[in-house]
Chain A
Amino acid sequence: MDKIRLLERTNEKDTELGWEDQLHINQFSKLNSKYEVLEQAYETAKKEKEYLVDLEMELELLDEESKIAYKLGDAFVKLGHEEALEQVETDKKAAESKLDGMKTELDSISQTLSELKTKLYAKFGNSINLDKD
């Protein structure tokens, strides 16, 4: 429902915009777009980590004598069972620490965003819209 809404004259607040307000708006816009990109990357990384967990379980079920073709770039290398498990374990740890880092960043961005939102709404009221439609 897109409707062009005319502000009622009485609601219209005449607030002077200072340099500091501009900085707040800039930061809000910047963090907002960063949040979206990061959120997507987080979802992809989470899926990848889940695959690694599944993979680890599957590997444990396999015969210890069997060789595993592990994809490195464009080719596969054959790894012994133990070696492959180690490799997957390292991959999993790397994925986990990456995920943790992303989560912390997402949380801190969303906190800063809500702080900025409070500040900007307090000053500009109806004259500014910071929420997604």
Chain B
Amino acid sequence: METNPRGIPKAPFLEDIGDYTSKNESVEITLKKFTEALNKYKFMEINSLQRRKGLEDKIPEIENTLKMIKHIMKKNEEEEPIETLFEVHDTLYANAKIGKPKSVNLWLGANVMLEYSLEEAEKLLQSKLVSANLSLKNVNEDLDFLRDQITTMEVNIARTYNWDVKQRRNAKKLEE
């Protein structure tokens, strides 16, 4: 079976409905199979949409952290202390003057924070940013692909249904 790079199977296109349904016992069974496949695609679409949302939140976060590190590096070069207002609580900020920091602590998740030198932190975040952007690109590709398969399936269902209606109509005519 044909799949996309992330292993999502491709929806079949039916050249000839009559030919296809006759291989599949009955129209009802064919329609049932199609609806099942359609629901699977829709489920995958919802999952991918969630993944995209997560990445869309994560990328600006990484970008902001990188901006802050660049700012620290710039101030270090200028030999100026960093003046900042930092968040103590939601509605409370405190003034601070930081002289020439050599390292930063990055929150890695799962209650772990690690100390990095400025250069290392920049490198790490750069690579995280690149991989997050790549994942976003992949998710978007998947979503496009899924949309295609969903449309193909919907058209398949409609065509099979219409074909069936026509068959019945013809059969009735013959009876008369």
Contact = CB atoms under 8 A, between A and B. Distances in A.
- Answer yes or no: are A and B bound together in one complex: yes
Interface string A63-102: 0000101001111111000000000000000000000000
Nearest to B93: A76
A26 B151 contact: yes
Nearest to B140: A34
Chain B at the A interface: SS class: helix
A69 B93 CA distance: 12
A72 B69 CA distance: 10
Contacts of A33: 147
A86 to B, nearest CB: 11
Interface residues of A, number: 19
B71 A26 contact: no
Contact of A29 (B65, B93, B147): B147
A73 B144 contact: no
Interface string B62-85: 001101100100000000001111
B68 A30 contact: no
A126 interface: no
B152 interface: yes
A25 interface: yes
B15 interface: yes
Contact of A77 (B15, B71, B159): B71
B29 interface: no
A75 B147 contact: no
A17 B155 contact: yes
Contact of B155 (A22, A67, A78): A22
A75 B151 contact: no
Contacts of B93: 75-76
Contacts of B71: 72, 77
A86 B141 CA distance: 37
B68 A72 contact: yes
A93 to B, nearest CB: 15
B105 to A, nearest CB: 13
Given A77-B84, A78-B84, A78-B85, A72 B67 contact: yes
Nearest to B145: A30
B151 A25 contact: yes
Interface string A1-37: 0000000000000000101001001110110011000
Interface of B: 13, 15, 61, 64-65, 67-68, 71, 82-87, 93, 144, 147-148, 150-152, 155, 159
Interface of A: 17, 19, 22, 25-27, 29-30, 33-34, 67, 69, 72-78
Across the A-B interface, give the 7 residue pairs with the lowest CB-CB distance, nearest first.
Answer: A78-B83, A73-B64, A76-B85, A75-B86, A29-B151, A26-B148, A30-B147
